[in-house]
Amino acid sequence: MFHTLHDAAHAVTIHIDGVPIAVEAGETVAAVLLRQPEVWSRTTPVSGARRAPYCMMGVCFDCLAEIDGVSSVQTCLTAVCDGMVVRRQLGRRSLVR
Amino acid sequence: MQTDVIVIGAGTVGAAIAYGLVDRGLRVIVLDGSDTDHRAARANFGLVWLQGKGVTMPEYHTLTRRSVDLWPGFHDQLTRLVGGWIDYERNGGLAFCLGETAFDERRHELQRLHTMLGGDPDWEMLDRAALRKLLPKVELGPEVAGASFGHHDGHVNPLKLLASLHEAVRRLGGTIRPNTPAQTITVQDGTFVVASGDERFEAGRVVVSAGLGSAVLARQVGVEVPLRPQRGQILVTERIEPLLPLPASGLRQTAEGTLMIGVTQEETGYDAGTTAEAAARMSRDALRKVPRLGELRMVRQWAGLRVMTPDGFPVYAQSPSHPGAFVALCHSGVTLAGLHADVVADAVAAGSLPASLDMFHPGRFDVPHAA
């Protein structure tokens, strides 16, 4: 759906649902998610509908995903770093083991 | 504009009374304040709560019991009329006790109240093992000695309740006027005239249920009600899978899955701001009960101003100098909504308050100071 307008230097690797992806240093996780073939980052806790990054400025909370084991992170406010593990977040979290 | 009753204030108290009145066939207009007014109805925690209430005034417990017993019928009728859900549950409620001393103190407090009231106990103390059985998904903090379990407690979505009451008033032919703050109440030819800006509203009865704005209005019909704001802050977490099958004092899970954590009781005047200090205190307290709440993300914090009388109990009165003018105020507008839509609406319609509300006359605050 989206692609970069310039030839990016892919110096950093992150993992989205286990798939390694080469990305540019300093970009946000939301920007990377929007370039993926599956353009969504989570399903909602109420209806289960898919949601993708939207406002890209920390307001709409639609871009939430699990990053390095911490869930409901605003991916549009989170810069990538090498080895980062991102998981699309499915529905509600649970505190039940 | 001429009508049967003018209700001043469209918060949970005014809206419930107005709903009861239109349901009884009266013509009602509800005058609501401006968007920036203090609105306890929109900052509420959402408990429909009985246990522990009225320790220093047993009549308040009896009154609250009557309302929580009216709640199921009130809920059914309201939701049938309006359609949709307000997420009401009445499966009992918990007050966690941290440490054996707190557990014993809670038992003594509820026992003392029960001794004053008599009747069958509607609560029990659950030790840690019994509490774990009731909350199988919850990992309790090591300090949790148990909880008091109130059989008649419950909870509701307070915003859906308020919206449903407004919708019900309109469906039954009533009028709700937003941004129409009542400024003066006068009497002309035996009719109450309420003025808001250039507009005049006339009715044979008037109900002052304007929260913290009520003192100024009640005085105009000869009723003195000392009121003060008390700030309550609330934290809300992200939505999670069902964890708590029952609401607890200061911790409940909403139907959508968020956990609400509260509440503070702060004497900070009309400052409705939130503070990091209160957020830290409420978080610390919640983590002592359920440590794994620390894994959750907080999504919101807000504050509201409770409507407090000197003794904290409600005020229901008809003006002796201006018969037909009523005052109804409290800080538990959600719990008492069943009573307001029924008993209080009946009283306004009949033009006289029942003896069961005598204890709640604001005349109780007129005790002269000792020399």
SS3 B205: strand
Please tell me which of the candidates B238, B256, B293 has its beta carbon nearest to residue A72. Answer: B238
Nearest to B364 by CA among B41, B60, B114: B60
A2 within domain boundaries? no
A14 within domain boundaries? no
A16 within domain boundaries? no
Model confidence at A96: pLDDT above 90: no
Domain of residue A61 covers 26-87
Q: Global pTM?
A: 0.91
What total number of domains does chain A contain? 1
Query: Which tens digits make up the pLDDT trace of B235-274?
Result: 999 989 999 999 999 999 999 999 999 999 999 999 999 9
Q: What is the mean pLDDT of residues A63-81?
A: 93
CA distance linking residue A66 with residue A29, whole number of Å: 11
| Tokens found for residue B312 | 């904290």
Confidence of residue B191 (pLDDT cuts 50, 70, 90): very high
A20 within domain boundaries? no
Nearest Cα of chain A lies from the Cα of B248 at a distance, in angstroms, of 17
**Residues in Cβ contact with A79 at an 8 Å cutoff, skipping those fewer than 6 apart:** A26, A27, A28, A29
Would you say B296 and B241 are in contact if contact means Cβ atoms under 8 Å apart?
no
List of chain A residues whose C-beta atoms are within 8 Å of the C-beta of residue B256: 45-46
Domains of chain B (ranges plus CATH)?
Answer: 2-80+158-226+312-365 (3.50.50.60), 93-151 (no CATH), 228-308 (3.30.9.10)
List of chain A residues whose C-beta atoms are within 8 Å of the C-beta of residue B293: 95
Confidence of residue B369 (pLDDT cuts 50, 70, 90): low
Tell which of B139, B157, B240, B292 to mutate to test the A interface (max A CBs under 10 Å).
Answer: B240
| Tokens found for residue B91 | 């499966």
A19 within domain boundaries? no
List of chain A residues whose C-beta atoms are within 8 Å of the C-beta of residue B137: 95-96
